[in-house]
Structure 1
């Protein structure tokens, strides 16, 4: 193209190839093409001096006859939009007729949604300041500077094999779960994990959930047409004495979500007996049990039944949400079925971080990070509990569960007449993030309390936030 930058040339070529003509319409094809070319000239996509393709070439690109292209070119030459030069071709005219005033497309006043500000007491988020970013970067650099040829090939639908092996080793050491790398399936997060599990069942099948439960899991199940039925919990977790008929049950036995209690051994065994009698699956969501502040983490429910329980784990709370990696441990008898479900499309999990995470775990740095964060989170939990005792002793009564990343607080006598949604709203107006228990999915009508996350916040920030909340609650009482 003469005297035009290469990007203008590319833009014009792309615009010409993108032209669409209605072959079944009432408007003749040459008229449609002339109008489309006229529009490109008016908008400056085809500027003065731009060379248009030969009529034969454009006809071939658009799948139309050369007669149609010639008719459009002739019309625009007559209107003064195009010039023909003997032996050179057809060009956009140097002296174009007056153009219509161009009006830019209206710009939306709504800015793009970015990361939301992190404010106390947002639950479920890990601290990322103490993450060993330098070590993590070294693993990424080492992997991708000279990548293993297998990384550049068609990825295994179940995930990068060395990472699956590292996860199996971690679960054996930390969760008492004896499994092989072949049973581990990498996913892009817990939502994909639950969605994949829902495909192991038929539409209309019943899945039991705790009340309350994890909302994204419930949405994933219902989105696949499963019938979800909630089961009450008490101070010991899921009530297992009269479970109804179902194809599966989803539980959080090590640390109930969101209430925090641990399912005792007697109920775990009763749950497994029910699953065997029903020929049902038990889905164990183990979302943050590594953070237990008194004694080692409890053995996983899956360690009691390798054939009945599907274990779900995630790195979002253990490392960082942006990693977007979770995993399943499935019984041997289901590996082939899960593989068949994933084979056509593959996993949604990015391969990019998987080999680095495998190296991170193999080097022992993942375990070191967990031990460090368990100590830090334990200190932050104690700081939050002390601040509540000092500044809101009769307002919010924390339940003393020595694990996890958030506190559950009952409403104290000073909040008589208020509901948990009222307390959460007062906190929100003060710039804080409290979650009302009554708003969690499947929560019983009489459940009241607030969820206060502490993991992502320094001790000083937690104390300051409690003081802010105390002032806001005090002002609301006047």
Structure 2
């Protein structure tokens, strides 16, 4: 069966079972159904050739007698609307000559739907996901759900998934934790809300890196806290620069967002010493540490700390799909009761539907295979992007990154004297590119001029074409 035939059949079944008949009317049910079917077929030329349900099936769905449905089918066959095929069933006729075929109403593209555009950051290549295996795990979980899946869900999340995440962190991030310390969230925003509403409370001075994820300022304000940006240097966050009296700091040590800097081990140790001495909490956002292409990754801060003064954030948005809306927190044991109390009160926002499938996907080994495949593909695409931009290396500071899904490229003086990164971003938008300006992710003065170029979600030919368009934007006029 073709896709068009499948689509037509689905549409016909949907519309047939949506027919409403009213036995209280003077018009007989047979006449009501006849009029409804005539109108449906007349106004839907894409239904040509679609098979109608058996008379017994339609009668059951509409709560009328089978005799009534069969009489309507016979009438419409005599009028040329329907045809029968021996031993096959009843179908919408391919030619209804006495009807003028209406022109289908054109459907405009959904204005709220936007295609991903080259150089957009934070996007995995979702075509790399083994969709067949993923669908199998999802179908197995819900084809005959266990009583536990149908019971009142645990606000901390599906326990087998929490156990799978615990195993994953031990193997990939040298972070040892009990499944009970893992909390499933709907993403980073909910995770921060759990931390600041449920654990640390409002009115806190929170040190954040500068530049950083722009939404972080809004989240801290919304949770009643104040953000204190600290400009990073070539090695990331420097502890002596942290504000006096800070109650917490949010860091991206594995790969600073957005510059890509990795926090060296001495600074990690110093940061944990600062937390122990001051009683402050370190919130580690480990958003894409699995994608490392060269060298061995340093252990996570939370792994070094043993989850005493640290809270760990992770997400599947970049590992599987942004549409999954599944992330997680790992909290110290002494905070578990407060975490449960808070989530019991507000309720969990992460959907339970994908959680059992994700658990079996991880436990089967397919998730690890998927990550290794993505890592190889993304490393190749990063190299391709660097090669494609080589002709404008006199304008952009190009250097490979040992990890991540985007390059942070600073502007050379020859370019920054003519254009700002914001101007480049605006011109790129006009040419179908999505390039974030580094300066717009800075709060402190003397904003850094640079471009964020996402490559993970785009194949090499798209990257080449996008690099050519970027080159025409930044090249000096002749």
TM > 0.5 fold call:
yes
* TM-superposition CA deviations, 1:12-67 (whole Å, max 9, x none): xxxxxxxxxxxxxxxxxxxxxxxxxxxxxxxxxxxxxxxxxxxxxxxxxxxxxxxx
- Matched pairs, number: 375
* TM-superposition CA deviations, 1:306-345 (whole Å, max 9, x none): 2111000000011100000000000111011111100123
Structure-1 residue corresponding to 2:225:
226
In the TM superposition, residue 455 of structure 1 has moved relative to its aligned partner by 0.3
Contact 1:213–1:443 (8 Å) recurs in 2: no
Between the aligned partners of 1:212 and 1:399, the Cα distance in structure 2 is 19
In the TM superposition, residue 163 of structure 1 has moved relative to its aligned partner by 0.1
Contact 1:254–1:262 (8 Å) recurs in 2: yes
Q: 1:138 aligns with which of 130, 136, 139?
A: 136
Is 1:337 the counterpart of 2:338? The answer is: yes
* TM-superposition CA deviations, 1:278-328 (whole Å, max 9, x none): 211100000001101013433111011121110000000111000000000
Structure-2 residue corresponding to 1:300:
300
Contact 2:181–2:333 (8 Å) recurs in 1: yes
SS for the counterpart of 1:209 is strand
Contact 1:119–1:432 (8 Å) recurs in 2: yes
Q: 1:3 aligns with which of 11, 21, 25?
A: 25
Structure-1 residue corresponding to 2:172:
174
SS for the counterpart of 1:282 is strand
Between the aligned partners of 2:421 and 2:236, the Cα distance in structure 1 is 21
Contact 2:120–2:435 (8 Å) recurs in 1: yes
Structure-1 residue corresponding to 2:362:
361
Structure-2 residue corresponding to 1:274:
274
Between the aligned partners of 2:142 and 2:453, the Cα distance in structure 1 is 40
Higher mean C-alpha deviation, range 327-336 or range 234-243 = 234-243
**Change in CA separation of 1:444 and 1:293 when aligned onto 2, cut-off 3 Å:** farther
**TM-score, normalised relative to structure 1:** 0.75
* TM-superposition CA deviations, 1:200-252 (whole Å, max 9, x none): 22322111100111122322221011011111200000011242211110000
Between the aligned partners of 2:453 and 2:109, the Cα distance in structure 1 is 30
- Structure 2: 5+ residue runs without aligned partners? 1-22, 30-107
Structure-2 residue corresponding to 1:207:
206
Following superposition of structure 1 onto structure 2, how do residues 118-197 of structure 1 map, counting pairs within 5 Å? 118-197=116-195
Structure-2 residue corresponding to 1:106:
none
**TM-score, normalised relative to structure 2:** 0.75
**Change in CA separation of 1:118 and 1:4 when aligned onto 2, cut-off 3 Å:** farther
Structure-2 residue corresponding to 1:450:
451
In the TM superposition, residue 411 of structure 1 has moved relative to its aligned partner by 1.0
In the TM superposition, residue 460 of structure 1 has moved relative to its aligned partner by 1.3
Pick the structure with greater CA Rg: 1
Contact 2:386–2:399 (8 Å) recurs in 1: no
Following superposition of structure 1 onto structure 2, how do residues 233-252 of structure 1 map, counting pairs within 5 Å? 233-243=232-242, 244-252=244-252
Between the aligned partners of 1:137 and 1:464, the Cα distance in structure 2 is 34
* TM-superposition CA deviations, 1:253-285 (whole Å, max 9, x none): 000010110111111111111111221110000
Structure-2 residue corresponding to 1:397:
397
SS for the counterpart of 2:239 is coil
Between the aligned partners of 2:472 and 2:229, the Cα distance in structure 1 is 38
Between the aligned partners of 1:369 and 1:434, the Cα distance in structure 2 is 27
Structure-2 residue corresponding to 1:69:
none
**Aligned-residue RMSD, C-alpha:** 2.0
- Structure 1: 5+ residue runs without aligned partners? 7-109
Contact 2:383–2:400 (8 Å) recurs in 1: no
Between the aligned partners of 1:384 and 1:444, the Cα distance in structure 2 is 31
Between the aligned partners of 2:259 and 2:399, the Cα distance in structure 1 is 9
Contact 2:124–2:321 (8 Å) recurs in 1: yes
